[in-house]
Structure 1
Amino acid sequence: MPTPLAITLGDPAGIGPEIILGAWARLRADGRAPPAFVVGGPEVLRKTAEALRIDCPIVPIADPAEAFFAAAVGLPVLAGLDGPLTPSRPSPDGARLALASLQWGVRLTLAGDAVGLVTAPVAKSALAAVGWDFPGQTEFLAEACGRPWHDAVMMLAGPSLRTVPLTVHVPLAEVPGLISEGLILHKARIVAEGLRRDFGVLYPRLAIASLNPHAGEGGKFGDEEARVIAPAIAALQAEGINAFGPVPGDALFTPRARAGYDAALCMYHDQALIPLKALEFDEGVNVTLGLPIIRTSPDHGTAFDIAGQGVADPGAMAAAIVMAAEMAAARVSADA
């Protein structure tokens, strides 16, 4: 890539620093590390590597362009943002560092100094305590990119499955009232375009999940399938999008079913995340579609309870870094 990836630090009291180091060391040893740099925290990362005996030298840099040369020596890290290392002890200072790294990373990516953004886990409650007013990083990124929140679509992706929750962080009791034909159409269009542009899937196949057991059983268990979901699928098909369903949730994730689609659009959070985490926990990646920038993240949280112990698996962070690089390459090809 002619431009490196930017990796945000995440909450320094969580597992972010150690999985960044572990992922980079693993990818470098395998010869798969793309050009990249971490946005701030050189001392946090250096102390983490020393404490956990991770073989990953830290190379402070002043400009993203230096990442290409610095990577020959170790992990490039932008100097200028830093703080103390306090594993498992979240603090306002740590939250401010996480937020500054995220803000700086977005600016660099929007400016073209980074080809994509990989975000380490943050703690929403810790960020809220220092003035954060967003449901999550996805919504923050949408606003930073000048897009409405509903244009930022969360897709969870692994080697054998991609899922999209149509509703995300809302109570389950509110889901039926939030599911609408317009919501399904809007997100399905963004997913189809994202698969084409960022994943090289020329003719995306979208499976649309049902809301109720047995897809409503002819109205016995609910009428949302006939009243809302089926008309949305028909409208997508009329636009030339290969969508099908409603598929009962208990049949959607069998091996045979997964071979028949490129992404599954699910009605609520757990319907999408339970199968993804069951199948791809150590390689699951959170991808944001619908934005002008590429953004990926490991599909797990800060894990404060195990931070600093050296037991966090860096597999999902490594997968997020590789996927961001692959998306960047696919986008260049699609836009050529």
Structure 2
Amino acid sequence: MSLLSASSNSANLSSTLQSARPPLLITTGEPAGIGMDIVLSLAASGELSSSTQPIWVTADAQALDDRAARLIANGALTQKPTWRVIENTQVAIDSALLCLAPDVSTESAHTADLVIIDVPAANPIQAGVIDVANAAMVAEQLALAHQLAIENKIAAIVTGPLQKSALIEADIRLDDGTMFSGHTEYFMQKSGCDKVVMMLANDAMKVALVTTHLPLRDVPAAITKANVEQTVQIVLDDLRSKFGLTQPKVLVCGLNPHAGEGGHLGMEEIEIINPVLDTFRGQGVDISEAMPADTLFTPRHLADCDAVIAMYHDQGLPVLKSHGFGDTVNLTLGLPYIRTSVDHGTALDLAGTGKASASSLKQALTMAQSMAASR
């Protein structure tokens, strides 16, 4: 019986896990891409076995074994990492979780580098070659991750890259019936959230977005008082609850050049953005007025800033990625659980070659672990 269809005694298990360290769960995503490669790379280097929390992974177990053999054959790995495979069933997963309790000791729980929840693909997997028939197993990984997170059985979700086009061609839809558009929208709808906030973070800065994937001509209409207010509130709530910052300092970009130049280059700052920010400041929040983006992103302003809120995608993210592309983490704020992600795609041309960098996955795991500790 599938985890998603089985009944469970979640209360007893949750009580047991309170005294344990619940695992971080990695979804490997598109099996033809580099998701399995980067997990294997971190496992082989000892990064996963040295984690202070257990690392669990969703993958086709046979395909993971095949990919490891391929990476060993081409010299990218010296040996196969060790893992324990469990079935994707309620009983198997809950039994494995119970083994994490402090008073339970099993050999398999302490000798393997990671635990694999086996989510089989419909067809054999070929590195670098998309098979739309396997899109269902990608969606199953996400459904499983959400269910475990919403039941507090895992500490965080860390998502590997998926191929949106494959899920769309397979007619996999979001809960509202629209075509699959990404991890963010998937977890938002599954969690019943009206709005979430996309944030990218690296060692240099954290940047959250009021709008995300909109054509530039549509951005001004989306900069409403409600949208700005919701974004700011979600950022503040998660900085406090998931990053442990009791009094976060936030800087906010204006929409227009020079933040509107007193209304000469646009009125959005005067009529929409600043009135919202004034309300937050009146509540004691340490938040700026709308600032010109070309001066906000300078060392002087960023030195003591906890997060930046940008109005649109290419206002904030190019600056952030110039400070650490490949080492950046994608976060979804506003969910009832922690979700971090790599900042790159499936890199089909690199799958199975051993040339894919695992640095972003490493950073996503580190940040998820830190956020989980802060909660």
Aligned to 2:23: 4
Structure-2 separation of matches of 1:195 and 1:28: 26
Match for residue 143 of structure 1?
189
Report the counterpart of residue 314 of structure 1 in structure 2: 358
1:282 and 2:312 are equivalent in the alignment: no
C-alpha contact (below 8 Å) 2:54/2:114 kept by paired residues:
no
3-state SS of the aligned residue for 2:193? Answer: coil
Which residue in 2 is equivalent to 1:60? 85
Question: What is the alpha-carbon distance in structure 2 between the residues aligned to residue 122 and residue 19 of structure 1?
Answer: 13
Paired with 1:99 and 1:71, the residues of 2 have a C-alpha distance of: 30
Partner of 2:169: 129
Distance in 1 (CA, whole Å) between partners of 2:60 and 2:119 is 8
* Cα distance change on mapping 1:241 and 1:27 into 2, 3 Å: farther
The amino acid of 2:85's aligned partner reads P
8 Å contact kept, 1:237–1:243: yes
- Name the structure 2 match of 1:31: 50
For 2:136 and 2:215, how far apart are their aligned partners in 1?
Answer: 29
Render the CA deviation track for 1:283-318: whole Å, top value 9, x for unaligned. 211111111111110111112232222111101101
Cα offsets for 1:9-41 (capped at 9, x unmatched): 210111111112223334537833631211232
One-letter identity of the residue aligned with 2:40: L
Note if contact 2:49-2:114 (Cα within 8 Å) is conserved in structure 1.
no
> What corresponds to 1:334 in structure 2?
none
Distance in 2, matches of 1:178 and 1:80, equals: 39
Any conservation in 2 of the 1:212–1:221 contact (CA below 8 Å)? yes
* Corresponding residue for residue 306 of structure 2: 262
Match for residue 88 of structure 1 among 104, 111, 128: 128
Given that 1:35 and 1:71 are in contact with CA atoms closer than 8 Å, whether structure 2 keeps it comes out as no
Give the aligned partner of residue 49 of structure 1.
68
SS at match of 1:218: helix
Aligned residue for 1:118, secondary structure, equals strand
Indicate yes or no: 2:249 matched with 1:205.
Answer: yes
**1:75 equivalent in alignment to 2:114:** yes
Measured in 2, the distance between the counterparts of 1:302 and 1:115 equals: 25
TM-score of the two chains, using structure 1 as the length reference: 0.92
Give the corresponding residue for 2:289. Answer: 245
1:22 match: 41
Distance across 2 between alignment mates of 1:30 and 1:270:
37
Tell me the residue number matched to 2:6: none
TM-score (norm 2): 0.83
Q: Which of 207, 228, 234 does residue 163 from structure 1 map onto? A: 207
2-side partners of 1:328 and 1:313: how far apart?
25
Identity of aligned residues (%): 36
Give 2:155's aligned amino acid.
Answer: V
Return 5+ residue gaps in structure 2 as ranges.
1-19, 101-107, 173-178
> Which letter does structure 1 place at the counterpart of 2:83?
I
Find the partner of 2:217 among 144, 153, 173: 173
**Helix, strand or coil at the partner of 2:255:** coil
Deviation at 1:71, TM superposition (A): 5.4
Q: Give the counterpart of 2:155 among 107, 110, 115.
A: 115
Q: Distance in 1 between matches of 2:234 and 2:28?
A: 28
Give the length in aligned residue pairs.
Answer: 329
CA gap 1:25/1:318 in 2 versus in 1, 3 angstroms: farther
Q: Which amino acid aligns with 2:66?
A: K
8 A contact 1:154–1:287 mirrored in 2: yes
Structure 1: gaps of 5 or more residues: 332-336
Counterpart CA distance in 1 for 2:118 and 2:233 is: 40
Residues 24, 158 of structure 2: 8 Å contact kept: yes
SS in 1 for 2:192: coil
Change (3 A) 1:118 1:169: same
The alignment partner of 2:367 has SS state of helix
Q: 1:155-175 deviations in whole A, cap 9, x for unaligned?
A: 111122100111001111100
Aligned CA distance change for structure 1 residues 27 and 271 (closer, same or farther; 3 Å): farther
What secondary structure is seen at the aligned counterpart in 2 of 1:170? Answer: coil
- Quote the residue 2:146 is aligned against: 106
Q: CA deviation at 1:100?
A: 1.1
Shift of the 179–71 alpha-carbon distance from structure 1 to 2, 3 Å rule, reads farther
Asked if 1 retains the 8 angstrom alpha-carbon contact of 2:25 and 2:55, the reply is yes
- Once the two structures are overlaid, the 10-residue window that deviates more, 274-283 or 164-173, is 274-283
- The change in CA–CA distance for 1:71 and 1:52 in structure 2 (over 3 A counts) is farther
